[in-house]
Chains A and B, each alone.
Chain A
């Protein structure tokens, strides 16, 4: 106990006993202790002078924070549909039986726990897992055997073969951004030359729109923030790339971090902000050290800090905050709450972050790719940037291609590229559908492959998951429904309850007990989610179900047992416990439903 006290007090002091650092403090304390026991939460609350319930509320919100002990080896299998298609469930089962542990439970000796987690952003090199927070890619039975042995021998993860943790960039097609040869500081020099006002004018000319999914015009956001009252403005880079099937930000952060940080600095030049945050998803924590080194190098080169590039009054620096496994924090107001050390619950809007953002200060929140793209605007000028792409979607877009194709990876195209073209380039010869934009995006069926990637046609935050003719659209939708039920923050009624109800209906259909009225109920729940939800997570959660019901309805109807009402409650299944206790499995221990209904 004295050890825990010292650890908590050291970590809290390191963060200036600042309550807005609560999430970062919880993450670091857990790093030392392994989990967050009740007495430890009390100590943290006391040290930060916060109500204990508030600390417990935050600790309970994030998937990567644990109130109960977890294994010394904590193995989380990525549960995106692409991982499942590559055989992740069987691999997880194999590892569980080799290590004598049930999924989701802690082994009796406290050595290992194995469960699933939402997409870890390694879809181009799956199946993937996080082992004590570090990504392991390209899992197969051989690698699973090796992992089981390493765990049994209790070899520390730091001593495991480096090849396990190899993460490839897999850049397959470069265009304006990925082919950029700009040196750090070049874009800043160009933007400083035209002055703050001139730079914002270039951004307006570029008509650059946000790459995170919503597609809001970046210059409008910057201008609103610049014109908002308050001198202490903030630039936030949203690196919480949680959308299943998306991994382009991972590659930008790993190999083009300078472009991203330079974009943040360019945003500061336009708005007058002096403080920057990068909110990095917990799954990408392995990039933290590298990103911090880049920041350090930029500070040394005079590209961050006071008087950037010799401009008096151009002061700006960047801190990196870690997320801890909550997809909803990709929503910008939930991200701000999380950045303030709170539960990641989306705020009521208006007011918008550009006027009332981080700690009530005017704040710009931009996606990683959006910020990187601003360097191109600075270097080429707004008009040159707007010359590529389509009328309403200027410039290029990074696509994270995964699923049933020969060459998964990152493809950069000018906006307006057709789905067909991407499929041809990535070697997908037998595609029946593409999920564009991730779980919250659109499912594109074969007859729509002529459609184009652009805000005015098929908008996408970057995910491009290919499904060949052997895949079952129902199972794809079901995977995404599970995802949203797991990731709903639970703030508003329709999303909290609706996502769970949807999961119930999908499970009922999957178990073969579906009836026609269930489809009507599904449509009713999806409508409530769409109309009444508090934020984009809830309103886009039903998209995969709506799309599959419209475009692949037979995959649902095939599963219907009857056209009449079927109860969700399975009487025979309810007797399973009694059968197990009595050791019986004969016919008389089962309910014959046909006979029951004939009676």
Chain B
């Protein structure tokens, strides 16, 4: 017999070991996320995928589904909290969408549209994060980092290079590369690495291909992220 839980009032079937996120997606329900990726184990840092289960907030990417759970996701309350988390991500970095090469292909920007974020609300922190252009093919624009660690994980677990890591902590946490000089050009990073092609925002960029597709015709310009993300599921 298939086991089920309730997701926003609708029954969702799940298999043993599936998380709420996996089961909900398989049943066609979109849950916002930034650090989650179908090819990697759950990370649980962005907290965009929070849902309410039995009155408690949990990360749907990490919590295994259980029979009879009542999950609230697409509610005004949870979406307001998700919007505030996005606002936090916007004010802690330096995000200038109109001049960003990733505009229209950026998951942070797309989610902000999806969740109807109209202002940053909080005070901007304006951190000082210099750009690293030392690599012949790639550029690191740290100002846009949201600490999803997808590049860290991809480089470590798939590329087997461990080019990236996070150092320091709290609001001073930041990305570093595996070189004594601190420069990407002094690592064995390559444009063909998975880590070079996995950034959901505009930190890891290819040189010399700026604005090849005009803004307005990009992935999330055409369709909202809730639709694009679920197409991958099919």
A interface residue numbers (CB < 8 A to B): 38-39, 41-42, 51-54, 56-57, 59-61, 326, 328, 343, 348, 350, 485-494, 496-501, 504, 521, 524-525, 527-528, 531-534, 568-569
B171 & A490 in contact (Cβ 8 Å cutoff): yes
- Asked if B164 is at the interface (CB within 8 A of a chain A CB), the reply is yes
User: B163 an interface residue at 8 Å Cβ cutoff?
Assistant: yes
For A348, A493, A499, A534, the residue with the greatest tally of chain B CB atoms inside 10 Å of its CB is A493
Q: Is the CB of B45 within 8 A of A500?
A: no
Q: Which residues of A contact B84 (CB under 8 A)?
A: 524-525, 528
A39 touches B88 (CB 8 A): no
- The residues in B between 115 and 171 inclusive whose CB is less than 8 angstroms from any CB of A are 121-123, 125, 146-147, 156, 161-171
Task: Kindly list chain B residues whose C-beta atoms are within 8 Å of the C-beta of A328.
Answer: 169
Instruction: Return chain A residues, CB-CB under 8 Å to B57.
Output: 531-532
B81 and A528: CB pair below 8 A? yes
Q: Given known contacts A51-B162, A54-B162, is B42 in contact with A326 (CB within 8 Å)?
A: no
Write out the residue numbers on chain B whose beta carbons fall within 8 Å of the beta carbon of A39. Answer: 180
CB distance B169 to A488 under 8 Å? yes
Q: Is the CB of A496 within 8 A of B170?
A: yes
Contacts of B185 in A (CB 8 A): none
Known: A496-B147, A496-B173. A52 touches B178 (CB 8 A): yes
User: For B173, what are the chain A residues with a Cβ–Cβ distance below 8 Å?
Assistant: 489-490, 496
Which residue from B48, B121, B165, B169 sits with its C-beta under 8 Å from A489?
A: B169
Bound Cα distance A54, B176 (Å): 9
Contact of A534 among B45, B64, B121, B170 (CB under 8 A): B45
Are A490 and B147 also in contact (CB < 8 A) when A496-B173, A501-B123, A524-B84 are? yes
Q: Is B102 an interface residue (CB 8 A)?
A: no
Question: In the bound complex, what is the Cα–Cα distance between A135 and B43 (angstroms)?
Answer: 39
Report how many residues on chain B are interfacial, defined by Cβ distance under 8 Å: 44
Known: A42-B180, A494-B47, A524-B84. A504 touches B123 (CB 8 A): yes
Contact in complex: A500, B167 (CB < 8 Å): no
Chain A interface mostly helix, strand, loop or mixed? helix
Contact A493 B178 (CB under 8 A): no
Across the interface, name the chain A residue whose C-beta is closest to B122.
A501
Verify A57–B47 contact, CB threshold 8 A: no
Taking a contact as CB atoms closer than 8 A, the residue among B47, B123, B156, B172 that contacts A490 in the complex is: B172
- CB < 8 Å neighbour of B170 from A53, A486, A525, A527: A486
Count of A-B contacts judged by CB separation below 8 Å:
134
C-alpha gap A521/B122 in the complex (Å): 8
Given A486-B170, A521-B122, A531-B50, the answer on whether A496 and B163 have CB atoms closer than 8 Å is no
Taken together as a complex, chains A and B put the C-alpha atoms of A521 and B120 apart, in Å, by 12
Residues of A near B59 (CB, < 8 A) are 348, 534
- Measured CB to CB, the nearest residue on chain A to B146 is A493
B172 to chain A, nearest CB (A): 7
Interface centre among A59, A494, A532, by most chain B C-beta atoms within 10 angstroms, is: A532
Q: Is the CB of A497 within 8 A of B91?
A: yes
Given contacts A51-B165, A486-B170, A488-B170, contact A348 B88 (CB under 8 A): no
Kindly report which residue of chain B lies nearest to residue A534, judged by CB atoms: B44
B64 contacts across to A, CB distance below 8 A? 350
Cβ contact within 8 Å between B178 and A53: yes
Find out whether the CB atom of B85 lies under 8 angstroms from the CB atom of A496. no
Task: Write the chain A residue with the least CB distance to B77.
Answer: A531
Residue B24 CB within 8 A of the other chain: no
Which residue, of B42, B47, B48, B170, has the highest number of chain A Cβ atoms within 10 A? B170
Q: Which of B50, B62, B171 has the most CB of A within 10 A?
A: B171
Q: In the complex, which residues of chain B have a beta carbon less than 8 angstroms from the beta carbon of A491?
A: 45, 147
Q: Which residues of chain A have C-beta atoms less than 8 A from B121's C-beta?
A: 521
B180 touches A60 (CB 8 A): no
Identify the closest chain A residue to B62 (Cβ).
Answer: A348
Can you name the residue of chain A whose Cβ is closest to the Cβ of B56?
A531
Determine the chain A residues whose CB is within 8 A of the CB of B89 once the complex forms.
Answer: 493, 497
A525 and B80 CA atoms in complex are apart in Å by: 12
Q: Bound state CA distance, A131 and B137, in angstroms?
A: 48
A6 to B99, CA, bound (A): 50
CB closest chain-A residue, reference B80: A524
Residues of B within 8 Å of A569, CB to CB, are 123
Q: Are A489 and B162 in contact (CB under 8 A)?
A: no
B46:A493 contact, CB within 8 angstroms: yes
Known A-B contacts A490-B173, A501-B88, A568-B123; the reply to A532 vs B81 at CB < 8 A is yes
Which residues from chain B contact A496 at a C-beta distance below 8 Å?
92, 147, 170-171, 173
A-B contact sample (10 more), CB < 8 A, given A328-B169, A485-B170: A61-B169, A348-B59, A492-B44, A492-B46, A497-B92, A497-B171, A498-B88, A500-B92, A501-B91, A533-B47
Residue of B nearest to A39 (CB): B180
Write the nearest CB–CB distance from B216 to chain A, whole angstroms: 29
Residues of B within 8 A of A525 (CB): 84, 122
Some 7 contacts from A to B, beta carbons below 8 A apart, are A57-B165, A57-B176, A487-B170, A488-B171, A496-B147, A531-B50, A532-B57
User: A59 to chain B: which residues have CB within 8 Å?
Assistant: 167
Q: CA separation between A500 and B173, bound complex, in Å? A: 12
Does B179 belong to the interface (CB within 8 Å)?
Answer: yes
Check B177 for interface membership: any CB of A closer than 8 A: yes
Q: How far is the CA of A500 from the CA of B172 in the complex (A)?
A: 10
In the assembly, what is the distance between CA of A53 and CA of B170, in Å?
A: 18
- CA gap between A501 and B182 in the complex, in Å: 29
Interface centre among A41, A59, A496, A525 (most CB of B within 10 A): A496
A489 — which chain B residues lie within 8 A by C-beta? 169-170, 173
B162 partner residues in chain A, CB cutoff 8 A = 51, 53-54
Q: How far is the CA of A521 from the CA of B62 in the complex (A)?
A: 29
CB distance from B121 to the nearest CB of A (A): 8
Interface pair A51/B85, CB less than 8 Å apart: no
Cβ of B124 to closest chain A Cβ, rounded Å: 9
Q: How far is the CB of B168 from chain A (nearest CB, A)?
A: 4
Contacts of B178 in A (CB 8 A): 51-54, 56
Q: Which of A38, A54, A57, A531 has the most CB of B within 10 A?
A: A57
- Find chain B residues with CB under 8 A from A41 CB: 180
Bound form: Cα–Cα A53–B81 in Å: 33
